[in-house]
Amino acid sequence: MKLEAVLSRLRAGDKLHMQLVDGARVWWFEGPWETVPSSVADRLKAAGDIAELGDSLFGITGNSQSWAIGGGVADRVACSVPHCRRTRRALPDLITVERGDYADGDTVTTDIAEEWICADHWRAIPPATRQLHAAAKRKAKRVKTLMALLVFLRVWNRAKRQAIEGAAGI
């Protein structure tokens, strides 16, 4: 399928499906079934023309099984604290890990910079969490295991929750 044909099906409300097969992403539409080259899907993702619906294994970003038309804003990342107006240019920081026992040889790639907390809100996070965050990130990049990635994502969620609580003055 060509890019324009994919976009017109997305605009009509069709969902794009994605699955990892032998470590590669396979994309398709259903009813009528049409395969979408990963090069086309990657271009749509990079442009923010498609957004994932969050139904991924382990909730890891970038790995949803369903994608729909996006807002075209993927080139900017907003601060994760609600109502904060700060944004920065999207700078993907991809980590690829082995899925291990779940499916031998399969890998999961996620963009750990998909979410961001601005400098002001980052300062509201307790130093212990910030140190844990830095250590968990270093470890995930070094050992490249699913477990290390899941630990990093847990620490990130804690940091985000504390930034949001800090912003609310709790």
Q: Which residues bind Zn ion (CB under 5 A)?
A: 79, 81, 84, 86, 118, 121
Distance CA(157)–CA(108), nearest Å, equals: 19
Distance CA(1)–CA(68), nearest Å, equals: 16
- DSSP, collapsed to helix, strand or coil, labels residue 15 as coil
Query: Is the CB of 40 or the CB of 81 nearer to Zn ion?
Result: 81
Query: Is the CB of 36 or the CB of 164 nearer to Zn ion?
Result: 164
Contact 28, 13 (CB under 8 A): no
| Alpha-carbon distances of 97 from 7, 73, 104, 105, 141, rounded to whole Å | 30, 27, 12, 10, 9
Query: Is the CB of 16 or the CB of 125 nearer to Zn ion?
Result: 125
Query: Is the CB of 37 or the CB of 166 nearer to Zn ion?
Result: 166
Nearest to 75 by CA among 91, 61, 60, 59: 91
| Least spacing, CB of residue 121 vs Zn ion, in Å | 4
| Least spacing, CB of residue 113 vs Zn ion, in Å | 15
Query: Is the CB of 86 or the CB of 144 nearer to Zn ion?
Result: 86
| Least spacing, CB of residue 170 vs Zn ion, in Å | 16
Nearest to 54 by CA among 43, 42, 68: 68
3-state SS track over 70-88:
CCCCCCEEEECCCCCCCEE
| Least spacing, CB of residue 124 vs Zn ion, in Å | 9
| Least spacing, CB of residue 116 vs Zn ion, in Å | 9
